[in-house]
Structure 1
Amino acid sequence: MNMVTKNQISLKELCAHSIKLLGEIITIPSYSGEEKAVADHLEAFLNLRGLSTIRKYNNIWCYNRFFDPDKPLILLNSHHDTVRPNDQYKNDPFQPVLKDGKMYGLGSNDAGGPLVSLVATFLYFYEDHDLPFNLCLALTAEEETSGTYGIKCILQDLMPVSFAIVGEPTGMQMAVAERGSMVLDCVCTGRAGHAAREEGDNAIYKALKDINWFAGYHFPVDPGQPESVKLTVTGVHAGIQHNIVPGECSFVVDVRFDHNYTQKEILTVIDNHTFCEITVRPNVLYPSDIAVTHPLVKAGLQSGRKTYMSPTSSDMGWLQIPAVKMGPGESSRSHTADEYILLQEIESGISIYIQVLSSLSPYLESQ
């Protein structure tokens, strides 16, 4: 398969090759933390087209051919890892199926479609002598698990980045802010005893009090403002046998938060209202945002994009630079059975990415 530059190929052909690449990577299992095979494929794909790539673990990146250190550098980033398929799949998750204008397959929407669209966009500009900016394409690992060997392990290896586009399924609208996330492991301790007698102190009953608090508590916000902190209990475990009062009950809480509350403030409120012992899992993702006056946002608005605050988190949270999250596909399809993306979404996504980047120049000059 050939995917070459804008001087040699039409946008229509570029889109067709992107769809073919998507089908190829769907066939390669790439669970988060197990991405070597798909990283090998993507690296070979780029190398065969004459691009010099850099690799660290399963992260691959490269720069435009005529790199100019005096120009700003834009990062184009998406991830090639996937979650594991759930047991409601009817299709083979690793068999790309084209039907009714859709491509089915695990990772087709999250984030294979955005990834191949950003690859196409990068190759479209790769040979351009007169870009007003530089581009870095980074295809990264372990996004789904916020893993140690994902994008955050290469941030110090990249040339200094000015701002970024993070490819995730957003319907090609611009997420200009994103909630942070942290995971809490909570444990309520009771005392084991025989279920047939009035013995023990049932840890499940103690945990229920805390779980009910998590379910019903709302952090104060100004009138008319969206909820700042969302608390969701996503797992519960207790008991070893039907006739033993459990002495321990553990549960997991997913926390999403914006800039209105710090991690410390959230944990203080939780500590003041619950009785469980709480451990915060590593790799807390912090909220991120970009000014609506930023050149990238202005160029996106000129191209007909809308802005919104994303309720989900992504690798944008690790960057600590101005960034928008934008890509073909819909977030609501992510992690669902028989995941798919519309072929038209990929074609439109590539076109919009190119349009946004092509209209950046006057906004960069006015900074």
Structure 2
Amino acid sequence: MSDVLDFTRALIEQRSLTPDDAGCQALIAARLSAAGFACESMRFGDVDNLWAVHVGTNQEPTLVLLGHTDVVPSGPVEEWTNDPFTPDIRDGKLYGRGAADMKGSVAAFVVAMERFAREHAGHRGRVALLVTSDEEGIALDGVRKVADAFRERGERIDWCITGEPSSKATLGDLLRVGRRGSLSATLTVRGIQGHVAYPERARNPVHEAMPALAELAARRWDDGYETFPPTSLQISNILAGTGANNVIPGELQVLFNLRYNPHWDAARLERECDAIIARHCSDYAIDWHRSGEPFYTPDGELRQVCRDVLKEFAGAAPEESTGGGTSDARFIAPLGAHCVEIGPVNASIHKVDEHVSVADLERLPDLYFELMRRLLA
């Protein structure tokens, strides 16, 4: 059994349901400390974060490998072929919650970093690992808080490689070079409850909100940006009424989300949405949640190195994409870092019987090692 496979299995065995790290970071820190990394535990609230740094001949540039040790719940255990926290190898695949998202990548990071520190002790700059136990949850006390702490103490990051499962069909067939921003809203429209037979004595919040919602849903926010698709607003939930068909409701609640490209920032989108709603609704409130701003890494040294390495591993130039949801790189990019995402195939993430190809997993440390070598050695 290979080192990376063995370590991935050890991490899967830890029931690290977000935001509980369940001891994963202690296992990681023990290995990296022995390899000469300075390890710092950064705990905020109930969230564990680990910052491990190896310094070469100088302090710059800094390359960070970014990951998370928390996982989503397994769902119905009886639907899994084996217990989700008992790693199992079948038909060339390693099964277990977190195998692909993203304990496999974290284990590969560690194995690659140990080798890099051993073979290139005099590398330039710094190579570092940052892992959190709050990526799959609300992401308030994880990398978001770490980034705030880094900003306060002047921590510089030049490049960041996130190990999120980004590949589509084969390892290395996609290089993620940006992510859209995510902005969520809870809209409450207040009316006056009454009998449907006497609408003049009530004020229907549903009727007031419908034109606003139609305008929000129909608006074309932009035509895209570079490789980003156009900004999209999706209404995900609408709740109103008492359950009776003869009562005008007194309140309507609507949940919607915007996934937006670098044409926008959260503050501007909030103002635009508020202006639309204000034209139609007389009494309302909006509670906004900013999950993260978009980021985009322009062509340069990091993208070129990643492109070259992935072409060698996949046999063809990778697709360079800004698709998908969000990742913790959204908190690192504002520090001035160029960020990309490279990881295993994502077809089974968050599903029953999540798995990763054993062959891909065993190649992953070599891929990350080669990226480190070309950037820092």
Question: TM-score range, shorter-chain basis?
Answer: 0.7 to 0.9
What SS does the aligned partner of 1:219 have? coil
Per-residue CA distance 1:262-311 (angstroms, 9 max, x = gap): 32332233223334532212x44111122212x12111122215222233
Letter in structure 2 aligned against 1:180? G
SS at 1:35 equivalent: coil
Name the counterpart of 2:304. 298
After alignment, is 332-341 or 219-228 more displaced?
A: 219-228
1:169 to partner: Cα distance: 0.8
Gaps of 5+ in 1: 1-12, 363-367
Partner of 2:98: 107
Distance of 2:222 and 2:77 partners within structure 1: 38
Percent identity over the alignment is 19
Instruction: Tell me the residue number matched to 1:53.
Output: 39
1:314 equivalent to 2:345? Answer: no
Closer, same or farther: CA 342–272 of 1 in aligned 2, 3 Å: same
User: Corresponding residue for 1:170?
Assistant: 166
2:123 counterpart residue number: 131
**Is contact 2:12–2:96 with CA below 8 Å preserved after alignment?**
yes
Show the counterpart of 1:277. 285
- Between 159-168 and 37-46, report the one with greater CA deviation: 37-46
Residue number in structure 1 paired with 2:261: 258
Q: Which amino acid in 2 is paired with 1:301?
A: R
Shift of 1:261: 1.9
| Corresponding residue for residue 32 of structure 1 | 18
For 1:210 and 1:332, the matched residues in 2 are separated by 37
1:359 aligned partner = 374
Letter of the 1:136 counterpart: A
Change (3 A) 1:201 1:345: farther
Q: Is the CA contact 1:89–1:338 (under 8 Å) kept in the aligned structure 2?
A: no
Q: TM-score, normalised by structure 1?
A: 0.81
1:230 maps to which of 223, 229, 232: 232
Closer, same or farther: CA 233–77 of 1 in aligned 2, 3 Å: same
Give the alignment partner of residue 141 of structure 1, picking from 116, 126, 133.
133
Q: What is residue 268 of structure 1 aligned with on the other side?
A: 271
- Any conservation in 1 of the 2:228–2:323 contact (CA below 8 Å)? no
Structure 2: segments with no counterpart, 5+ residues: 312-316
Change (3 A) 1:202 1:48: farther
The question of whether the paired residues in 1 share the 8 Å contact of 2:59 and 2:126 is answered with no
> Which range moved further: 92-101 or 70-79?
92-101
Q: Which amino acid aligns with 1:37?
A: G
| Structure 2 equivalent of residue 98 of structure 1 | 89
d(CA) in 2 for partners of 1:252, 1:121? 43
- The normalised TM-score by structure 2 is 0.79
Give me the CA root mean square deviation: 3.0
Q: Which amino acid aligns with 2:340?
A: K
- Hey, which bits of structure 1, 4+ residues long, moved more than 6 A? 195-199, 222-225
Cα deviation, residue 139, structure 1: 1.5
Q: In the comparison of the two structures, how many residue pairs are matched?
A: 345
Pair 1:329–1:223, CA change in 2 (3 A): closer
Mapped contact 1:120–1:350 kept (Cα < 8 A)? yes
